[in-house]
């Protein structure tokens, strides 16, 4: 998938499921539950045990777009794309990794927080920007950043929940990512994947509510 195609897909679907866990045996069933709940863009962070294997497994499924998170090096970028990752995400801005993503032909979302970092990443070729960590003022922070920089495509992950997803999107975010609010560590530990599925439906319902309002 080209970076342009992924940008368009993310802008249409507006939401991704992001799994970070140390429970290797729970990773597959947890993401399965998120997919049953309706997610079609999914991400495994590379510090999840067995992440590359899960990327390979899920990328072979029809209708899913799979990415790798916590990508910190060129080698990790290459390994993830080799396994089937269609997009890459990092908690930091690293121009070398951005260059590698460009060479691999996939979209890269570097982690940014300040307007300076956002513009730096944008000028380095990042078509979308991960907002990390979550700002204390939440969606209002995004609205303030987009005031002078309306061309940025910002995607918050940390701090996004079913309760505030609509506010993030209405503030101008290109899309949002659900992490611990979707994949509750206690539920993963206990194998309560039905709860993950229920939360997936709730999260996507909040996203749809934002779309309904914006179309009025």
Tokens of 201: 């439906």
Query: For residues 84 and 53, is the Cβ–Cβ distance under 8 A?
Result: no
Residue in 24, 34, 16, 76 with CA at minimum distance from that of residue 54: 24
Question: Sheet harboring 111-112: ordered strands across?
Answer: 111-112, 129-131, 154-156
Annotated catalytic sites, by residue?
43, 130
Residue in 195, 214, 191, 213 with CA at minimum distance from that of residue 203: 195
Helix (H, G, I), strand (E, B) or coil at 209: helix
Tell me the sheet residues that pair with 42.
Answer: 17, 66
């Amino acid at each position: 998938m080209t970076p342009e195609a992924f940008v368009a897909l993310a802008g249409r679907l507006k939401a991704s499921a992001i799994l970070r866990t140390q429970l290797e045996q729970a990773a597959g069933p947890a993401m399965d539950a998120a997919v049953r709940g309706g997610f079609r863009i999914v991400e495994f962070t590379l510090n999840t045990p067995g992440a590359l294997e899960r990327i390979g497994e899920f990328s072979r499924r029809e209708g899913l777009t799979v990415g790798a998170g916590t990508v910190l090096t060129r080698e990790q970028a290459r390994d993830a794309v080799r396994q089937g990752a269609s997009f890459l995400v990092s908690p930091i801005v690293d121009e070398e990794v951005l260059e590698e993503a460009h060479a691999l032909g996939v979209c890269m979302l570097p982690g940014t927080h300040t307007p300076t970092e956002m513009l730096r990443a944008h000028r380095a070729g990042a078509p979308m920007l991960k907002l990390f960590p979550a700002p204390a003022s939440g969606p209002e922070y995004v609205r303030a950043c987009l005031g002078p920089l309306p061309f940025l495509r910002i995607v918050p992950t940390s701090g996004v929940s079913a309760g505030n997803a609509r506010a993030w999107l209405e503030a101008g975010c290109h899309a949002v990512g659900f992490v611990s609010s979707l994949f509750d560590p206690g539920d993963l530990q206990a194998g309560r994947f039905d709860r993950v599925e229920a939360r997936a439906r709730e999260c996507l319902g909040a996203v749809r509510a934002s779309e309904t309002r914006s179309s009025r």
